[in-house]
Amino acid sequence: MSANQHPEPPAATSDRVLFSSDAASGGPRHVEVPVAYDALLLAGFGGPEGQDDVIPFLRNVTRGRGIPDERLEEVAHHYRHFGGVSPINAQNRALKQALEAELARRGIDLPVYWGNRNWAPYLEEAVADAAEAGHTTLLGLATSAYSSFSSCRQYREDYARVLTATGLGETVTIDKVRQFFDHPGFVAPFVDGVRDAIAGLLAEGVPAAEIRVLFSTHSIPLADAERSGPRDLELGEGGAYAAQHMAVAHVVMDTVAAEVDGALGIAWDLVYQSRSGPPTQPWLEPDVCDVIETLPDAGVTSVVIVPLGFVSDHMEVLWDLDTEAMEAAADAGLRAVRTPTPGIDPAFVSGLIDLVEERLRGTPAAERPHRTALGPWYDVCRPGCCENIRAGFKPAAAGIAP
């Protein structure tokens, strides 16, 4: 069966978590008992690695929506601009190597298998390879930090789909680490980047009142955002997705203000990018480029652009920020600095393995590090979490059925 065929997994019962370890099967918010995982499953989005891959890759991304190739080609120019190569696969190879090195450094015997949703190597191959090697109790790590359909639940649906497609659903289990938006290891690289950017501008004599920090993340449909996170949390417009980003941005700015003389009171905004829906569909706003255009009228001369929603410099960062947002800043006459993503920053890699150790050891929730009041997030996603408004709920691993 090809990676693009998606048979439906069996329906879940409301009192059991599909395809889970015994410790997670009852649906606890946090699994506080040790689990003997025998492999780590790194799950990525995937990306083309040549011009011939671009349209087939975009067909995978938009599968089920009936979008003709002519329209896909309108999107393909982002990839064509970079030779048809997305950097995301190379970045995941580097991340896999860094995770393996950190596991070895800590003496943890846990192989890492890597598979993608939309391009080779596919998740089907990774799970099949793990099972063939005798590794059947897997811990999933998706390369996305926040809660929404596309950044969490869709990966969990992928796990369920893959276990069905491979016929391994009776022998292989997949849990997942908690969403890590506020883990210190994820937050630290953003603090470092913003601190260095602001300190540099202040050292050059730029007044604090003329600096604006824009924390940018991928926009999603407003209806999906409002359904992000558990249904019983009242987090306001934008749901858990917006609330998590806002909380992390507050932490970053508060930390930088405490570390850099003159940084206290520098204004900042949460902005969005990479919108792809029809104009009639409400998406999270404001757009990063639209905000940049308004900054000169607010007395701003320098802008710090922070890719807060991203773990590495993939296409949305290279095109939407390094190309379009930088062009918007130049057109507005602004000095612009783009801060780094976590990538394979040692603090980030170490933090990811901390998350793995939490589950290996069954660390109590009260002892788990987190930088915001929203954390530590759930090990087992709650009923009704992160519904896809267009497609509804499909069976998913690592969460209680709706």
pLDDT over 50 (residue 5): no
How many domains does the chain divide into?
1
pLDDT attached to residue 174: 98
In a domain, 209, yes or no: yes
Assign 175 a pLDDT band (cuts: 50, 70, 90): very high
HEC profile of 233-268: CCCCCCHHHHHHHHHHHHHHHHHHHHHCCCCCCCEE
Cβ neighbours, 10 Å, residue 279? 7
CA distances from 13 to 93, 316, 393 (A): 37, 38, 13
Residue 324 lies in a domain: yes
Measured between alpha carbons, how far is residue 347 from residues 111, 187, 272, 313 in Å? 21, 9, 26, 17
292 is in which domain, residue-wise? 184-338
Output the pLDDT for position 285.
97
Q: How confident is the model at residue 119 (pLDDT cuts 50, 70, 90)?
A: very high
The string over 49-65, giving b where at least 16 C-beta atoms fall within 10 Å of a residue's C-beta and e elsewhere, is beeebbbebbebbeeee
242 domain residue, yes or no: yes
3-class SS string, the chain = CCCCCCCCCCCCCCCCECCCCCCCCCCCCCCCCCCCCCEEEEEECCCCECHHHHHHHHHHHCCCCCCCHHHHHHHHHHHHHCCCECCHHHHHHHHHHHHHHHHHHCCCCCCEEEEECCCCCEHHHHHHHHHHCCCCEEEEEECCCCCCHHHHHHHHHHHHHHHHHCCCCCCCEEEECCCCCCCHHHHHHHHHHHHHHHHHHHHCCCCHHHEEEEEEEECCEHHHHHCCCCCCCCCCCCHHHHHHHHHHHHHHHHHHHHHCCCCCCCEEEEEEECCCCCCCCCECCCEHHHHHHHCHHHCCCEEEEECCCCCCCCHHHHHHHHHHHHHHHHHCCCEEEECCCCCCCHHHHHHHHHHHHHHHHCCCHHHCCCCCCCCCCCCCECCCCCCECCCECCCCCCEECC
CATH number at residue 206: 3.40.50.1400
pLDDT at 1 exceeding the cut of 50: no
Average pLDDT, the chain: 94
- Please compute the mean of the pLDDT values over residues 289-299 and round it to a whole number: 98
**In this structure, are residues 308 and 339 in contact, taking their beta carbons and an 8 Å threshold?**
no
Does a structural domain hold residue 301?
A: yes
As beta bridge partners, residue 142 has: 43
Cα gap 233→385, rounded to integer Å: 10
Q: What percent of the chain has pLDDT over 70?
A: 96
Mean pLDDT, range 158-163, rounded to an integer: 97
Query: Is position 321 within any domain?
Result: yes
pTM: 0.94
User: Would you say residue 51 has pLDDT above 60?
Assistant: yes
Mean pLDDT computed over 70-79: 88
Per-residue pLDDT tens for 30-47? Answer: 999 999 999 999 999 999
Question: In this model, does residue 9 exceed pLDDT 90?
Answer: no
Q: What is the pLDDT of residue 101?
A: 98
* 334 part of a folded domain: yes
Residue with tokens 């999906």, as numbered in its chain: 224
The pLDDT assigned to 63 comes to: 86
Give residue 2's pLDDT.
38
CA distance 193 to 252: 10
Residue 395 lies in a domain: no
What pLDDT digit, counting tens, does each position of 239-283 carry? Answer: 999 999 999 999 999 999 999 999 999 999 999 999 987 889 999
Task: Name the residue type at position 58.
Answer: L
Does 100 score more than 50 pLDDT?
Answer: yes
Overall average pLDDT of the 108-133 stretch:
97
Average pLDDT over residues 354-366: 98
Question: Would you say 190 and 339 are in contact if contact means Cβ atoms under 8 Å apart?
Answer: yes
Dihedrals φ, ψ of 37, to 5°?
-65, 145
Give me the pLDDT at residue 15, please: 55
pLDDT band at 10 (very low <50, low <70, confident <90, very high): very low
pLDDT surpasses 60 at 298: yes
- Sheet (strand 211-218) strand order: 267-273, 211-218, 302-306, 335-338
Lowest mean pLDDT among 9-18, 183-192, 339-348, 377-386: 9-18
The more confident residue out of 129 and 233 is 129
The average pLDDT across 123-127 equals 98
Least Cα distance to 126 among 140, 143, 145 occurs for 140
Tell whether 227 is covered by a domain.
yes
The pLDDT of residue 23: 97
- Say whether pLDDT at 291 is over 60: yes
Q: Which amino acid is at 67?
A: I
